Structure 1
Amino acid sequence: MAKLRNDGPALADDDSPEQMLDKLTQRLTARKTEETKWDDLYNGEEPLLFASPEFEEQTGGLFEGFSDNWCRTVPDAVRERLKVTAFQSADGELDKDAMDAWRRNEADVEVGLALLDALVVARSHALVWNPTGSASDITFLPPGQGVVDYAPGTRRRRRAGMNLWSDGSNDFATLFVRGLGGQPAMVYRRQRKSGGAWEPRTIGVRTSERVDFPNPMGEAGAVPIVEIANRARLGGAPESDIKQVASLQRTVNTLWAHLLTGADYMALPQRAVLGMDKPMRDIRDNEGNIVDEEEIPLTKFGRDRLLWLPKVGASIAQFSAADLRNYLVVIEAAVRHIAAQTRTPPHYLLGEMSNIAADALTAAESGLVAKAKDKQTYFGADIREIARLEALASGDAARAESIAMGKVVWRDAQYRSEAQYADALTKYKAIGVPDEALWRMIPDVEPEQVQAWIAMREAQAQAAAAATAAAFSEFGPKQDTGSEDGGDQPGEEAA
């Protein structure tokens, strides 16, 4: 039996809406610590965790806010290769209505932000609704504003979902519940003073509006919040892509701090004066009598670049500068480990690319491409569910069923040059692949552009046929008006 995907207090069929809201809010609160940790690492805002207490005491807050941040590069490299280009229905045709709704809600832009949040903090959410009854709405929710409860023993069947937000003084929540225990599927809208008890919403709700009402999504009231989960295993919760990088990132930051500290103290040769006391100077009173003595600040000699050695036997010794390359070797090894463990191409992290061959570049990026395609599979299932809910919200149950059996079309995760694409498409053409299929394989070509090309081709074919018919009628065979042998008879003259 599949392990529950719920990571907090379990909902009961007889729970009141307020009890459900409290339990779901507890889940969001429990997740916040981990989400904040991964978000701080992504933003490079974590302190030095691997530095010794003695080092921290010596440097104080000198390195506060410093980070050689690879935790941003790793998820960004994957997110850049995740672009939805179309939705395909069960019959293999592209769903224009789904793509129109996708663009109308600017989901083609914001889905990238949602996927990045999922890569960084392990999950994000999307809410599909039809607030006006005329046009569906797709909203991607920031971390901490969405949560989904799954039916016991299942991994996909959503039993409830909550959208939570705050205006600084009040918390607001909308709870969507599938029909439970013979009860109808409902939508509950609540508010509370921060930390207080939930009560029916009055702020922002017209007196003519109902606070609680049946879920209009059809299909027994489908929960319109979808969890976009990253690296969700059968027996565990979703994981952040940064989790694997965190330890090495902290190591790199600490090594850089040691290197910079060493550079401050030991990067230049250090000199020592041997066989001589500290330089002193006399302190005299107003009459010129020596009353005391004081040390001469050593900074004066460094500034003047001059030192007198009046004592017999005094000499100068020198300590050689520290070799800081050892730090760089270890840092580079740590970065290579990050590249290998996260399947990020080395040239993304180390910048080692000079006159590299195309095949070598393809081989270097093969791990990242495979990782991106794997993400497309699992994220694609969640995005397909969003498109299905959009069809339900639009009142088109047949289209929703077709999308459920269709798929999400992604841009090719492999970056290729135009020459490589042209060569590949020419070879596909030679083995009989239709033009329409070839056009769809070209990166960044929208389905509407393919349809325009098809219309252009048909118009060209019609124009060519019309031109051929006109030429044939002008220069082709004409009606025979002469003698039987088709020529003038010898000796005949015109009258």
Structure 2
Amino acid sequence: MAKTADELAGLIRGDFLRDARKEWARLRWLQKNIDGGLNKTWMPENADLEYRDLFRKARSPWLRFVRDCIAQGLIVDGYTHNDIWLDAWQENGMDGRQGQVTREAIGLGYSFVLSLPAVGGGVVMRPLSATRTFMSKADPWDEFPDLVLHRVADKKWMAVDNEAVYRFEGDPEHIGEMDVTRHDLGFVPVAMVPNSYATDGYPESEIEPAIPVYKRIVDATFTLQMVQRYGAFPQKNMAGGSIATDADGNALIRPAVDSLLHSTDPLTKFGSFPAADLDKVSSSVDTHIKHLSAVCQVPPHYLLGSVVNMSAEGIAAAESGYFRNIDDHKVVMGEGYELALRSAAAILGSDAADDTAAEIHWRDTSTRSLAQTSDAVVKLATVGAPLEMLFALIPGWSKSDAIEAAEHVRSNGSQSLPEAIQANAQKAVDGFRGLELPVEGDQ
């Protein structure tokens, strides 16, 4: 039976809402660091606007860049049950929406996917941001939560339990008018997509351990800004004598980059300090960026863009740690996406809802040439591997492309790739034999 407004407010009020606000504050702080919006360094009390402007320009969203580099290697493009993939995932445009879920899971530690019955039949799948969503579980190892609270907008809320969806405005602790939509699924259709499995507390962010390194990058960049503004040219100096002044005691010459110091005193001595070595300061910035790449297991050339005469084997070796990290994320995050698709299958009334062995398929983003892949596909075809699996190995092909190609091969009467290759080769030979070749002496 669906809850009343007072019953729902009683569940939210107290520890639930207090924990939610505490967690949301932590995630907002983390998100601001990822966006490059939170970082302070020491400044003198009398720092002028130019000094502060240099620091403002030293901040860059390096953590967001690293997060996106990891997320770009985690793209879901298939599921064991193709009907669920088409009717739930693709029908809801999750090919594009998954990017938001994956990036947030990498950066904040977790994100959510909501599945609900659609009006008129079908299923609606939507991402829910962790900075606006909080859930509670009676047992940390339960697949589904007991209650989920989501802040839709300012003073607009949505709560989901195992019977219905509740939409209301105002204060979650004192709910007035409320719109109730029953789903009667017997479970809360919200799946968490985690970055890692935590034995205690929330899943850990992939980016949070790198915040101290990022702050060092900002400090080093600020130093570079200061040096190139004030020390990239020789500093002129004058010893002895005095600068001429007017009747009010103001200097007639203002020392500047484009001015000369001069004096009428014969005892005055002039000199200059050498310019700062910008290469050393710039090298320091690059070193900190390499530290960031090591902590987050992102290849340095992804961040620095410096690939000079690297062989294919060298690039593969440099990216090996990155792809090991990606494979580790696929195992953990895949469980979350599979749970979301099983929830959608339950709404559609499919037997796939109980298939815990079903798996999602990840797009291959590794660096391999088409020639290498084609050779592997042909060799695997000789042992009778399924066409859909073989075509899915081709770089840039989605599961839909693989299925369409397999159906096309079968429509031509071939049940395997070798048969299709042999049939096409025979057609080419027959066509060649049918050509009228010129004989000797013809013009």
Shorter-chain TM-score bucket reads 0.7 to 0.9
- 1:271: which partner in 2? 236
Correspondence list, 1:426-441, <5 A = 426-430=378-382, 433-441=385-393
The verdict on how the C-alpha distance between 1:148 and 1:443 changes in structure 2, with shifts beyond 3 A counting, is farther
Q: Find the counterpart in structure 2 of residue 415 from structure 1.
A: 367
Structure 1: distance between partners of 2:380 and 2:46: 62
Contact 2:68 2:103 in 1 (8 A): yes
Partner of 1:460: 412
Whether the aligned pair in 1 keeps the contact of 2:58 and 2:221 (CA below 8 Å) is no
Structure 2: how far apart are the matches of 1:302 and 1:145? 52
**CA shift at 1:344, angstroms?**
0.5
**Alignment check: 8 A CA contact 1:119 1:241 kept:** yes
Q: Which amino acid letter does the alignment assign opposite residue 174 of structure 2?
A: A
1:193 aligns with 2:170: yes
Q: Distance in 2 between the 1:391 and 1:100 partners?
A: 9
Indicate the residue corresponding to 1:216 in structure 2: 184
Per-residue CA deviation, residues 235-268 of structure 1 (Å, 9 max, x unaligned), is 3421222212110100110111122112222221
Matched letter for residue 38 of structure 1:
L
Aligned AA for 2:213? L
Rounded Cα–Cα distance in structure 1 between residues aligned with 2:174 and 2:147: 20
The equivalent position to 1:298 in structure 2, one of 231, 245, 254, is 254
For residues 241-390 of structure 1, the aligned pairs below 5 Å read 241-281=206-246, 283=247, 293-299=249-255, 303=258, 305-390=259-344
Q: Verify the 8 A CA contact 1:44 1:65 in the aligned structure 2.
A: no
Tell whether the 8 Å contact from 1:273 to 1:314 is kept in structure 2 after alignment: yes
SS at match of 1:311: coil
Match of 2:37 in 1: 45
Residues 189 and 212 in structure 1, CA contact (< 8 A), matched pair in contact too: yes
Residue pair 1:162, 1:176 contacting (<8 A) in 2 also: no
Cα 1:198–1:269 shift into 2, 3 Å: same
Q: Which amino acid aligns with 1:392?
A: A
| CA deviation map 1:165-191 (0-9, x unaligned) | 23x3x33222314xxxxxxxx326253
The reply on whether 1:54 has 2:31 as its aligned counterpart is no
Could you say if the C-alpha distance between residues 84 and 276 of structure 1 is closer, same or farther in structure 2, counting changes exceeding 3 Å? same
Aligned to 2:85: 98
Paired residues of 1:41 and 1:246 also in contact (CA < 8 A): yes
Contact preservation (8 Å) 1:87, 1:99: no
1:55-112 C-alpha deviation (Å, 9 max, x unpaired): 8846345422532432022111111111112111xxxxx4223333211100111011
Judged with a 3 Å threshold, the aligned counterparts in structure 2 of structure 1 residues 295 and 392 are, in CA distance, closer, same or farther, namely same
In structure 1, the residue matched to 2:68 is 76
Contact 2:108 2:204 in 1 (8 A): yes
Residue identity over aligned pairs, in percent, reads 21
Q: 1:310 to 1:455 in 2, by over 3 A?
A: closer
Deviations 1:304-329 (A, max 9, x none): x4444321222211111222333233
Please give the alpha-carbon distance, in whole angstroms, between the structure 2 residues aligned to 1:125 and 1:359: 38
**TM-score (ref. length: structure 2):** 0.84
Aligned with 1:237 (options 190, 198, 202):
202
Is residue 37 of structure 2 the alignment partner of residue 20 of structure 1? no
| Structure 1 letter corresponding to 2:234 | P
Classify the secondary structure of the residue corresponding to 2:413: helix
Deviation at 1:131, TM superposition (A): 3.6
Work out which of the residue numbers 154, 165, 171 in structure 1 matches 2:141. Answer: 154
Rounded to whole Å, the distance in 2 between the matches of 1:455 and 1:195 is: 52
CA contact (8 A) 1:161 1:175 kept: yes
Deviation larger for 134-143 or 448-457: 448-457
Instruction: Indicate how the Cα distance of structure 1 residues 448 and 316 shifts in structure 2: closer, same or farther if over 3 A, else same.
Output: closer
Contact preservation (8 Å) 1:28, 1:147: yes
Q: Secondary structure at the match of 2:221?
A: helix
Cα deviation for residue 360 of structure 1 reads: 1.1
The 2-side partners of 1:190 and 1:330 are apart by 53
- How far apart, in 2, do the equivalents of 1:137 and 1:36 lie? 27
- Cα distance change, pair 377–191 in 1 and its aligned pair in 2 (3 A): same
Which consecutive residues of structure 1, in runs of 5 or more, have no partner in the other structure? 1-14, 89-93, 178-185, 206-210, 284-291, 472-495
| The one of 129, 135, 149 aligned to 1:142 | 129
Cα distance in 2, alignment partners of residues 74 and 137 from structure 1: 31
- CA–CA distance in 1 between the matches of 2:55 and 2:63? 18
- CA 1:294–1:132: 2 relative to 1, 3 Å: closer
- Does structure 1 conserve the Cα–Cα contact (< 8 Å) formed by 2:243 and 2:253? no
d(CA) in 1 for partners of 2:20, 2:309: 49
Cα deviation 1:400-456 (Å, max 9, x = unaligned): 113x32111111242322122123223334555454432122233234433433343
Structure 2: segments with no counterpart, 5+ residues: 1-5, 415-419, 431-443
Which letter maps to 1:228? V
Q: Name the aligned partner's letter for residue 161 of structure 2.
A: F
CA contact (8 A) 1:40 1:46 kept: yes
> Are positions 1:108 and 2:95 aligned together?
yes
1:173 pairs, out of 130, 154, 158, with 158
Conserved 8 A contact 1:124-1:227: yes
Q: Deviation string for 1:374-407 (max 9, x for gaps)?
A: 11111111111111111111123x22113x3211
Distance in 2 (CA, whole Å) between partners of 1:389 and 1:330 is 50
How far has the Cα of 1:224 moved from its partner? 0.7
Letter in 1 for 2:390: L
Larger % of helix: which? 2
Asked if the contact 1:190/1:198 (under 8 Å) is kept, the reply is: no
Secondary structure of the structure 2 residue equivalent to 1:415: coil
Following superposition, the deviation at residue 337 of structure 1 comes to 1.4
Q: Secondary structure of 1:64's match?
A: helix
Count matched residues.
Answer: 412
Q: Is the 8 A contact 2:238 2:261 kept in 1?
A: no
User: Is residue 354 of structure 2 the alignment partner of residue 401 of structure 1?
Assistant: yes
Distance 2:58 2:36 in 1: 7
